[in-house]
């Protein structure tokens, strides 16, 4: 057939018309459109049955109730528990991002052992056998006291199991990680004679005076404090913030009082001066329920008149006087202290100064005041049968010096441990158990900490994550993460009532991990003798259920048990001191060094500036690293690419020729770091502020290698009154890179 021009055109046109009229192109276009909308690498989450399970968040000691949403077997979301006495539906950034910790890439998936510098997976049996062998060995040599344990808490069944194990094994070296809890407990003990936790009835206060506390930035139980702040706003209450930097708490306060860093205690005493001098204190309380008032009066009247305090603190006399009058004039004033989130215990004298300010106003154990909350007492296990080795071991001095003649009041002094180890020929600690702690990151002076830890022959980590301490440990016995395990939460920090909560396993363990409570019980059983006898439980779960006894059912059903009727003891019964009264001063208090603002370490001429840390709700700075959502939510003035920004007042920056956004080297006596300069009007001239929680070397790519670790730049500043770490900053210099 001959194809001429005419028939060719007819064919093409006919074909085109036919194709267009046929459904073919429309059908294919539709299919292709759907194809482009569903790339196979874009995940499609599987739908399923939704269930909600009640539990408790244990990512910080705040004790918030949570409601975990699951779709079939997947955990997809965590919400705050409505009606929970601590957080009533609210939840913090970390609690909300908790699912990322469960499914995150830095989980330790199996017991591991370090062989020639690299990790090897081993079986649980082998891991436990090895630990048992080492423990038997040390005990046989009569060195049980060379085993130590670091834990975030000393309350609750898991911490108590560790402590019980050490005791019956023969070591006094159970060490709780430092926080303002140390100082508050000691202040309550010295003035009121009670072993108690500090609770703050912030919801009923009408004037909160915060001496540098991050009241709405993670101080004590974060969400409880957020709620209290909102309540304060609803009732036209007032909150004043004393701090060298316009923190978020300062920004949201009614009055920000910028103060020379480290001098907050002097201001508290200055306020006491005005209150006493002008007779604004609670006469009834002081006359009938206190002792040592005259001596205290003499100290503040002679030593802290407004003009002297103004010189120390940089706060002018008019402000001091007005603040004292306003504070005393409030119906329910409450003074709080402990800087930022309260990770550093701080100066005991500063805590006493603030605590006695509350006493002057008579708001001890009163509505809107500070309450002595009794320590939880539900754990009553059988008496220990101690053998000779254990008794001898327990009579040895604590390695950190706590309770010794030099530090009679301190219970735990983890801040002293690196120095003690580094100054000895052989490490006085031969084996270290680390549970719910990451000291290689969180302790001040990271270099010394690292050096000390390297000297310890065997470091065993119980962490669920590859954190700094774990990466550098010798063996890992990984715990389940909090969503996979049962655990009691014996209190909520700073909450004014006794509350016990239960963290429940909402999902089966994803990996070959084991509950630390079970691991300790298993180790004890294998060691045999009186150690095994001290642990009669078949499993941790059995131990937990037995310990919580009649509260168990309530806890499983509701998630928490609260002593709703609790009111702090009446003044007549509240004080168990020698005098039976609140002691402004006493023999014990008099024996302590007097208040003095502690100076930051470093030579002033070489380090003309002062570096202070600040805490953010969008960064964790404890043993849990920030999950990806937190790092993502960071403000552009905290992190840029991998550089941390430090805040400098524009006048100071100009003095040193540092442009906004310029790269600089921050030097302190302990180290240096590359930083970016952020001009910020809200910081006192001469001061540099840096966020805590960055500069991780461990964890995933979303956190590691970003910014610098404040703890690597700072040194411990030992409080002469307690031995606790009271560092609020360090001297520094900042120069263009």
Partner 1 sequence: MKQENSKKFGMVIDLDKCTGCGSCMVACMAENNVPFREDDTDKLLSISWMRVYTLTNGQPFPRTEACYLPRPCMQCEGHGGHSPCVSVCPATATDYDMETGIVSQIYTRCFGCRYCMAACPYHVRQFNWWDPLWPDGMERSLNPNVSVRMRGVVEKCSFCIHRYQLAKDRAYAEDRRELEEDEYQTACAQACPAGAITFGDLNNPEHAVHQMVKPDNKHGGKPHAKNTFRLLERLGTNAKVYYLSSRDWVRHAGDNYLKNEGILKHS
Partner 2 sequence: MGWVLFPKLLYSQKQQPVAFNHALHNEEVDGGCESCHFFRDDGTYSGVPKLAQCVDCHEEMQGDSEAERIFVEEYVAKGREVPWLVYSRQPDCVFFSHAAHVILAEMECVTCHGPIGESESLKVYEENRISGYSRDIWGKNIAGIKRNSWDRMKMDDCSDCHRKENVNQGSVQTHKGGCFVCHK
Tokens of 246: 């316009």
Within its chain, how far is the Cα of 359 from the centroid? Answer: 27
The answer to whether 31 contacts partner 2 (rule: CB under 8 A) is yes
Instruction: Strands of 458-530 (E only): list them.
Output: 458-461, 475-476, 487-489, 499-503
CA angle, 12 then 15 then 20, to 5°: 125
Q: Site mask, partner 1, residues 495-524, x = CB under 8 A?
A: ---------------x--------------
Question: Over the Cα atoms of the chain, what is R_g?
Answer: 29
Question: Which residue stretch of 32-40, 428-436, 572-580, 617-625 sits at the interface with partner 2 (rule: CB under 8 A)?
Answer: 32-40
Q: At its nearest, how many Å lie between partner 1 and the CB of residue 250?
A: 8
Q: Can residue 41 be called a binding residue for partner 2 (CB under 8 A)? A: no
Contact residue for partner 2 among 14, 27, 278, 424 (CB under 8 A): 27
Residue 239's binding partner among partner 1, partner 2, none (Cβ under 5 to 8 angstroms by kind) is none
Instruction: Check if the beta carbon of residue 304 is closer than 8 Å to that of residue 353.
Output: no
- 80: β partners: 66
**Residue 117 binds which one of partner 1, partner 2, none, with CB within 5 to 8 A depending on kind?**
none
Residue with tokens 């959502």: 629
Shortest distance in whole angstroms from residue 47 CB to partner 2: 8
What are the strands of the beta sheet with 238-242, ordered from one edge?
A: 255-257, 238-242, 207-213, 333-340
28 contacts partner 2 (rule: CB under 8 A): yes
Residue among 210 and 291 whose Cβ is closer to partner 1: 210
Residue 32 contacts which entry, partner 1, partner 2, none (Cβ below 5-8 A, type-dependent):
partner 2
CA distances from residue 529 to 171, 540, 565 in whole angstroms, order as listed: 16, 19, 44
Residue 75 C-beta: closest distance to partner 2, Å: 17
CB 324 within 8 A of CB 271: yes
Spatial strand order in the sheet of 118-121: 118-121, 112-115, 475-476, 458-461, 431-435, 147-151, 174-176
List binders of partner 1 among 204-223 (CB under 8 A). Answer: 216-217, 222-223
Instruction: Check residue 701 for interaction with partner 1 (CB under 8 A).
Output: yes
The answer to the question of residue 708 lying near partner 1 (CB under 8 A) is: no
Position 37 contacts partner 2 (CB under 8 A): yes
In the complex with partner 1, the residue whose CB is nearer, 89 or 374, is: 89
Out of partner 2, partner 1, none, what residue 472 binds, judged by CB under 5 to 8 A for its kind, is none
97 sits near partner 1 (criterion: CB under 8 A): yes
Candidate residues 1, 2, 38, 382; the one interacting with partner 2 per rule CB under 8 A? 38
Strands 255-257 and 238-242: parallel
**Which tokens belong to 442?**
């969180």
Residue indicated by tokens 């990151």: 441
As measured in angstroms, the least distance from the Cβ of 23 to partner 2 is 4
| Strand ranges inside 436-585, DSSP E | 458-461, 475-476, 487-489, 499-503, 560-562, 582-583
Taking contact as CB under 8 A, which single stretch among the options 268-276, 522-530, 646-654, 717-725 is the one that binds partner 1?
646-654
Q: Does 700 interact with partner 1 (rule: CB under 8 A)?
A: yes
| Closest among 642, 645, 670, 673 to 658, alpha carbons compared | 645
What is the 3 state secondary structure string of 83-114? CCCCCCCCCCHHHHCHHHHHHCCCECCCCEEE
The residue from 23, 45, 117, 382 that contacts partner 1 (CB under 8 A) is: 45
SS3 for 306? Answer: helix
Q: Pick from 155, 416, 497, 618 the residue near partner 1 by CB under 8 A.
A: 618
Nearer to partner 1, 511 or 566 (CB): 511
- Residue 93's binding partner among partner 2, partner 1, none (Cβ under 5 to 8 angstroms by kind) is partner 1
Tell me which residues in 46-85 interact with partner 2 (CB under 8 A): 47, 49-50
Residues near partner 2 (CB under 8 A) are 22-24, 26-28, 30-32, 34-35, 37-38, 44-45, 47, 49-50
């Amino acid at each position: 057939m001959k194809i001429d021009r005419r028939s060719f055109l007819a064919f093409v046109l006919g074909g085109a018309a036919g194709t267009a009229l046929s459904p073919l192109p429309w059908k294919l276009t539709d299919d292709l459109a759907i194809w482009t909308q569903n790339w196979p690498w874009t995940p499609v989450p599987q739908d399923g049955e939704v269930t909600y399970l009640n539990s408790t968040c244990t990512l910080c000691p705040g004790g918030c109730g949570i409601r975990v949403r699951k779709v079939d077997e997947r955990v997809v979301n965590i919400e705050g528990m409505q009606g929970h006495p601590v957080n009533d539906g609210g939840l913090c950034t970390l609690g909300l991002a908790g699912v990322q910790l469960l499914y995150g890439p830095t989980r330790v998936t199996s017991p591991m052992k370090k062989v020639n510098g690299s990790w090897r997976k081993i079986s649980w049996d082998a891991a436990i056998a090895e630990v048992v062998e080492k423990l038997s060995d040390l005990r046989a040599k009569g060195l049980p006291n060379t085993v130590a344990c670091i834990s975030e808490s000393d309350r609750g069944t898991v911490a108590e199991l560790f402590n019980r194990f050490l005791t019956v094994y023969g070591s006094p070296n159970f060490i709780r990680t430092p926080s303002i809890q140390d100082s508050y407990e000691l202040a309550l003990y010295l003035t009121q004679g009670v072993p108690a936790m500090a609770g703050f009835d912030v919801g009923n206060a009408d004037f909160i005076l915060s001496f540098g506390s991050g009241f709405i930035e993670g101080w004590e139980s974060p969400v409880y404090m957020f709620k209290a702040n909102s309540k304060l706003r609803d009732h036209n209450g007032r909150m004043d913030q004393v701090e060298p930097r316009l923190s978020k708490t300062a920004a949201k306060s009614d009055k920000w009082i910028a103060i020379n860093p480290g001098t907050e205690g002097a201001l508290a005493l200055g306020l006491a001066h005005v209150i006493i001098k002008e007779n604004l204190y609670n006469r009834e309380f002081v006359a009938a329920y206190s002792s040592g008032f005259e001596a205290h009066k003499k100290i503040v009247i002679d030593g802290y008149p407004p003009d002297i305090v103004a010189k120390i603190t940089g706060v002018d006399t008019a402000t001091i006087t007005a603040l004292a009058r306003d504070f005393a004039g409030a119906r329910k004033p409450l003074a709080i202290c402990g800087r930022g989130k309260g990770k550093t215990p701080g100066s005991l004298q500063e805590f006493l100064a603030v605590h006695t300010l509350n006493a002057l106003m008579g708001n001890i154990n009163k509505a809107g005041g500070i309450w002595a909350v009794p320590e939880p007492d539900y754990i009553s296990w059988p008496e220990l049968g101690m053998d000779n080795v254990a008794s001898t071991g327990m009579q040895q001095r604590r390695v950190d010096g706590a309770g010794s003649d030099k530090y009679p009041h301190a219970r735990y002094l983890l801040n002293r441990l690196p120095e003690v180890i580094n100054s000895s020929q052989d490490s006085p600690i031969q084996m270290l158990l680390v549970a719910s702690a990451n000291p290689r990151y969180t302790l001040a002076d990271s270099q010394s900490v690292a050096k000390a830890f390297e000297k310890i022959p065997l470091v065993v980590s119980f962490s669920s994550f590859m954190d700094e301490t774990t990466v550098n440990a010798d063996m890992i016995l990984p715990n389940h993460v909090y969503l996979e395990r049962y655990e009691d939460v014996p209190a909520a920090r700073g909450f004014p009532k006794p509350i016990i909560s239960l963290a429940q396993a909402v999902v089966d363990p994803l990996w070959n991990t084991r509950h630390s409570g079970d691991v300790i019980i298993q180790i004890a059983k294998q060691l045999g003798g009186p150690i095994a006898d001290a642990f009669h439980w078949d499993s941790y779960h059995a131990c937990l259920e037995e310990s919580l006894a009649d509260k168990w059912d309530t806890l499983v059903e509701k998630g928490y048990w609260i002593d709703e009727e609790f009111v702090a003891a009446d003044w007549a019964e509240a004080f168990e001191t020698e005098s039976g009264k609140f002691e402004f001063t006493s023999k014990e208090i008099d024996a302590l060094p007097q208040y003095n603002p502690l100076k930051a370490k470093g030579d002033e001429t070489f380090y003309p500036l002062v570096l202070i840390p600040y805490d953010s709700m969008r960064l964790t700075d404890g043993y849990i690293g920030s999950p990806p959502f937190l790092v993502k939510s960071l403000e552009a003035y905290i992190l840029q690419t991998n550089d941390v920004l430090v805040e400098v007042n524009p006048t100071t920056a100009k003095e040193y020729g540092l442009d906004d956004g310029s790269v600089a080297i921050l030097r302190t006596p302990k180290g240096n770091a590359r930083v970016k300069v952020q001009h910020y009007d809200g910081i006192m001239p001469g001061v540099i502020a840096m966020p805590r929680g960055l500069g991780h070397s461990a964890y995933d790519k979303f956190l590691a290698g970003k910014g610098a670790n404040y703890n690597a730049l700072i040194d411990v500043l030992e409080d002469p009154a307690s031995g606790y770490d009271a560092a609020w900053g360090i001297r520094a210099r900042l120069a263009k890179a």
